[in-house]
Amino acid sequence: MSLPIRHVADPHEQAIAREAAQILDTLRPSLQGEQQMVTLPPTLAHLLSEVLGRLAQGEALAILPAGRELTTQEAADLLGVSRPFLIEKVLEAGRLPYRRVGKHRRIRLGDLLDYQQQDLEERQAAADELTREAQDMGLY
């Protein structure tokens, strides 16, 4: 299983998350005493399970709000591309919104994740089309 690229909690999940956070805040390190329980919806349970599983494996995680703004270098690193490629082929081509702060560009994390998902879907569709064409020509 893998973490979703982006999960936006609906109002019901937000209320449950608030309740769970309050319960976790009241727990003592010894975890002795009265137990309190919260039933999580499957999406939140999976997300929490995945986070804990990755931490248990010693992986580092970054959990950031979608509204956080990234530098072009941070955005390029997240996408696995060079900064010049990001600027020329993505930002200046109008494929991803950004704003300027003085001479610098800033990209909302949520916008970057949306772009990343859209790009992944487009590349998958192109690969599927190439596979279909190869099958039609008897090459695959």
Residue-wise pLDDT tens digits, 102-124: 999 999 999 999 999 999 999 99
**Which residues fall within 8 angstroms of residue 91, CB to CB, at 6 or more apart?**
72, 98, 105, 107
pLDDT in tens, 49-107: 888 777 777 877 778 888 899 999 999 999 999 999 999 999 999 999 999 999 999 99
51/30: higher pLDDT: 51
pLDDT of residue 82: 97
Q: Is the dihedral of CA 67, 71, 72, 76 positive or negative?
A: negative
Scored b (16 or more CB within 10 A) or e, 102-119 reads eeebebbbebbbbbbeee
Burial readout 42-69 (b: 16 or more C-beta within 10 A, e: otherwise): eebeebeeeeeeeeeeeeeeeeeeeeeb
By the 8 A CB rule, do 72 and 62 touch?
no
Q: Between 27 and 18, name the one with better pLDDT.
A: 18
At 9, is the pLDDT very low, low, confident or very high (cuts 50, 70, 90)?
A: confident
pLDDT of residue 1 exceeding 50, the answer is: no
**pLDDT more than 70, % of the chain:** 85
Range name among 23-32, 42-51, 109-118 with the lowest pLDDT average = 23-32
Please report the pLDDT score of residue 42 as a whole number: 82
